[in-house]
Amino acid sequence: MKEAKVAFIDKSLQELFNKLEDTNEKELLKFLHRAIKDLKENPFAGTQIRKNLIPKEYKIKYNIQNLWKYNLPNAWRLIYTIQNDEISVVCVLLEWMNHKNYERRFNY
């Protein structure tokens, strides 16, 4: 399988990722870099979230058809979707969050 691409859903998320370098969140940044590497090698490395559990916010804001979570250390979650065409596969990162916020977002 050809290596997948990884992209951020928008510029603000990309900027947030870049700013992690200048914060106390260097460990989180390291986890995210590892997740991005894993997703490039295997876009299905995460766990698919059932369609009926996809938050309406994602469906409305991003027109999401599929949603995945990648478990990061320290109970952090990386949320992404997979888009593909005949040529390439792209993992689009939507957000990362701690477990408490993850439970809130998905109503667990």
| Sequence spans of domains, the chain | 5-105
Closest CA to 37 of 81, 91, 76: 91
3-state SS assignment for residue 38: helix
Burial class (CB in 10 A: 0-12, 13-18, 19+), 62: middle
Between CA 103 and CA 43 the distance in angstroms is: 23
At 2, which amino acid appears?
A: K
pLDDT for 2: 73
Tens digit of each residue's pLDDT (9 = 90 or more) over 14-73: 999 999 988 888 899 999 999 999 999 999 999 999 999 999 999 999 999 999 999 999
Between β-strands 5-8 and 89-97, what pairing exists: parallel, antiparallel or unpaired?
parallel
In words, the CATH class of domain 5-105 is alpha beta
pTM of the model: 0.92
Centre a 10 Å sphere on the Cβ of residue 46 and count the other Cβ atoms it contains: 21
pLDDT for 104: 93
